[in-house]
A and B are shown apart, each in its own frame.
Chain A
Amino acid sequence: DQQVKQNSPSLSVQEGRISILNCDYTNSMFDYFLWYKKYPAEGPTFLISISSIKDKNEDGRFTVFLNKSAKHLSLHIVPSQPGDSAVYFCAARRIQGGSEKLVFGKGTKLTVNP
C-alpha cells in the first residue's frame, strides 16, 4: 500500500528548459511535504519543502506546488542544469502519537542533457 507515489521513474529534459516532477499521495494526515535529491552512493539531500497549509513555496530555481484537493504536489526546476541530474524523492511527513516519520515515493531519475 503505497501512500506516496511518483509515477514517472525517469524524466529527460534539455538544459535551460523546465523540469516538472510529480508526486501523488493518499493520506490526508500528512502535514508537511519535502523533496530530496539523491546522487548515487550518497544520502538524500534536502531540497525544498511545503507545509500542507500552503500551496506554493519557491527557493531560487526550485518551486514546489501543492494541490490538497487533488492530493498532488509537483517540483518545478527552471532553468534546468546538467548538475540537476539525480534521483528526486518526494516525501510526506506523518505525525502520530508523539512519533514523526517520513513516507517516501520510489523516486524519479532526472537527466538534464547539455
Chain B
Amino acid sequence: NAGVMQNPRHLVRRRGQEARLRCSPMKGHSHVYWYRQLPEEGLKFMVYLQKENIIDESGMPKERFSAEFPKEGPSILRIQQVVRGDSAAYFCASSPPGGRGNQPQHFGDGTRLSIL
C-alpha cells in the first residue's frame, strides 16, 4: 500500500548540471502533479500530467524545465542547466482517475534540490 514515492530524497547539483526528479504515483492513480516549495512559502503548482499527456504546464518556467509521465515508469521532472534559484523542495502529488470528484491529491515526501 505504498503512497506516492519520490526519489531521490535529496539531490545536490552544481550550476549548469541537469537534475532529474522521479515520482511514482499511488497505485491506481493516473494523475500526477508537481509543485515547488521555496523556503517560508507555500507550494506552487508547476505541472499536471496524465499518462503520456501534459494537461497543464502553466506553472512551469518556459525554459530549462520539462516534465513527462510515460506509459510505463515514473513521472520525471527535468531541470536543465540548473541555477541557484532552482534550489527548493519539489513535491509530487497524485490522484485517481474518474472525473472531478472530491478526491484529494496525495503527496510524496519531496525531493530537496540544492544547487552549489
Cβ–Cβ < 8 Å partners of A89 in chain B = 42-43
Q: Which residue of A lies closest to B43 (CB)?
A: A104
Instruction: Report which B residues bind A (CB closer than 8 A).
Output: 4, 6, 31, 33, 35, 40-45, 48, 55-56, 58-59, 91, 93, 95, 100, 102, 104-110
On whether the beta carbons of B106 and A46 are closer than 8 Å, the reply is yes
Within the complex, the shortest CB–CB distance from A48 to chain B, in Å, comes to 9
Instruction: List chain A residues, Cβ under 8 A from B41.
Output: 106
Identify which of residues 74-110 in chain A touch chain B, using a CB-to-CB cut-off of 8 Å.
89, 91, 95, 97-107
In the complex, the 3 A-B pairs of residues with the closest C-beta atoms, listed nearest first: A99-B56, A104-B42, A43-B107
CB < 8 Å neighbour of B102 from A32, A36, A102: A32
11 contacts between A and B (CB under 8 A): A4-B42, A43-B4, A45-B107, A51-B102, A91-B43, A95-B100, A101-B45, A101-B56, A102-B33, A104-B35, A104-B43
19 extra A-B contacts, CB within 8 A, seeds A43-B91, A104-B44:
A36-B107, A42-B109, A42-B110, A43-B108, A43-B110, A46-B104, A46-B105, A46-B106, A49-B104, A89-B43, A95-B100, A98-B55, A99-B48, A102-B43, A102-B45, A102-B105, A103-B45, A104-B42, A107-B42
